[in-house]
Structure formats: C-alpha cells, structure tokens
Amino acid sequence: MTRTEYHELDAPSLGGRRRVAVHGHWGRPVLWFPSQDGQEWEFEAAGMVDALRPALDAGLIKIYCVPSYDEQSWSASWKPLTDRVDAHRRFEDWIIWQVAPFIRDTCGGRDDIAVAGPSLGAFQAVLFALRHAHVFGRAVALSGNYDPWSWRAWGPADENTYLACPLQFLPPTEGGHLDFLRSRLRLTLVVGSGQWEDTTGAHDGSHAMAAVLRDKGIDHEFFVWPGWPHDWPSWRAQAALYLPALG
C-alpha cells in the first residue's frame, strides 16, 4: 500500500507554515504543483495516487505535493500583474529555500528533483524548471498556458513580470545561459485537443511553448492527445504514462 505522509514546513516568505503531502517511499522525487487554487491534498483527492500506485509502490517515483499560493498571486485578478508576480516570488522563495532542501533530506540526498503539474501547475513546473534549472532538471507539464498576460492581467510591466513569462524571457536567451539550459533541462509538454483546452489557452499555449523550446534547442518532447479534455481524467491517464518514466 502506498505510504502517504503530511509534513508542516516553515514558510517565512509566506508568513507561517505550509503543509506538504508526500506519497511513496522511494524513487525519483517529483515536486507536484496543483491546479489553480489547489491544495496539497488535491493530488490524492483527484485520484492521482491510485493512477500512479504501481510506480509509487515499485519505488520508481516519490511525489511531493505543495499547496498553491494562487489566491495571493495568479488568481488575484483584482491586483495588477506586478503585485501578483511579487506574491508568486514569495512562493518561489519558499519552494527553493524550504521545500527543495526538505525533498533532498527525505530522499537520501538525491539531487535529481523533477517538477510536474496540471493546468496552472503545468505553468509552475515549466517556470520553475527554466528559472531554476540548477535545482529542477526535469519537468512534466500537463495542459499548461505559459503566458500570464493572457490571464485577465492588467497594469504595468517590469523586470519581474517579464521574468515570470516563459514566452517572453526564453526567446531572447542566448550565450552561456542558453548553453546551460540545453545541458541541464528536459521538458515534457502534454496537451489535449478536447473541451476547455482551447478556452483555457492550454492548446495554443502548449504549442507556442513547444515551438520556443524547439527554436532554442532545449531538450523536450511534446505530445498532443486528440479529443482529451482539460480535466482530471486526462491528467490521470497522462501522469500514469509520463511520470513513471522519470524513475
């Protein structure tokens, strides 16, 4: 039976503490970002543990689920994008300085953490991989939209909003940093063509992201599932196929 544990971690950048759910006993650590406004328990409640049980029980992967901070960042549509990004950066600090060390400490010091998630969690996975490739060298992104400016965003732009949009900051990347991304990263993008994949921007966004990765020569694979919707049945089937391959 798959082991599940809950841990409370300090979250100084967010004020207080946050819970992390851990599924599995061994294997490649996978940091899972939830869908929009999701919490650390969403992964299990949505049937993902059952979908991945063979890989979890076999010790291929170990899943770490964090709660979102979307209510203060990406979902806070009353805020200008600059304020939403500032909130996201506080979440990013928590992930890098508290969550990633916790994962390494509870995985025998393994330093091959992958990131994954559906919908807004897919955006998070790709953004973290591109911005912190020294920490996360592998990403699996299911039904992502990678342009925050398309999310009813408003207000001025600045350096932080630019660096929060992969479709803006990646195309001009060149030189040594691009060489590092090429040497370090491998990304898997998956999207359906069914209901809500178009209205959420996931279909066009995933194609656009794959085109940029291809143009920059960054190792990736891109899969389109014809007819599959932007919903949990798709993400369960996709995760069951692509996450065990990380092990």
With bands split at pLDDT 50, 70 and 90, how would you rate the model's confidence at 2? Answer: confident
d(CA 107, CA 126): 22
pLDDT at 247: 87
pLDDT at 115: 98
Task: Give the mean model confidence (pLDDT) for residues 5-24.
Answer: 97
pLDDT at 207: 98
- Mean pLDDT of the residues in the chain: 97
pLDDT at 73: 98
Around 224, how many Cα atoms within 13 Å sit in the side-chain half-sphere?
15
Residue (of 104, 161, 139) closest to 33 by Cα position: 139
- Residues 85-144: tens digit of each pLDDT: 999 999 999 999 999 999 999 999 999 999 999 999 999 999 999 999 999 999 999 999
CB neighbourhood size of 99 (10 A):
19
- Residues 123-134: tens digit of each pLDDT: 999 999 999 999
Complete DSSP assignment for 136-190:
--EEEEES----GGGTT--S---HHHHTT-HHHHSTT--HHHHHHHHHH-EEEEE
3-state secondary structure of 23: strand
Beta-bridge mates of residue 9: 18
Residue 7, H or E segment: strand 4-10
Is a pLDDT exceeding 80 seen at residue 1?
no
With bands split at pLDDT 50, 70 and 90, how would you rate the model's confidence at 167? Answer: very high
Is a pLDDT exceeding 80 seen at residue 75?
yes
Q: Which CATH architecture has domain 4-246?
A: 3-Layer(aba) Sandwich (3.40)
d(CA 237, CA 228): 10
Task: Give the mean model confidence (pLDDT) for residues 21-35.
Answer: 97
CB neighbourhood size of 244 (10 A):
17
With bands split at pLDDT 50, 70 and 90, how would you rate the model's confidence at 40? Answer: very high
pLDDT at 157: 96
Task: Give the mean model confidence (pLDDT) for residues 175-201.
Answer: 98
pLDDT at 112: 96
pLDDT at 128: 98
3-state secondary structure of 106: coil
Backbone angles phi, psi at 44, to 5 degrees: -70, -40
d(CA 247, CA 245): 5
Residue (of 62, 53, 81) closest to 24 by Cα position: 62
User: Following CA atoms 41, 43, 46, 47 in sequence, which dihedral angle do they give, to the nearest 10 degrees?
Assistant: -120
- pLDDT > 90: percent of the chain: 98
Residue (of 93, 73, 75, 95) closest to 83 by Cα position: 73
Who contacts 80 (Cβ-Cβ below 8 Å, separation ≥6)?
A: 154, 155, 156
Token readout for 236 is 């369960």
With bands split at pLDDT 50, 70 and 90, how would you rate the model's confidence at 223? Answer: very high
Task: Give the mean model confidence (pLDDT) for residues 172-196.
Answer: 98
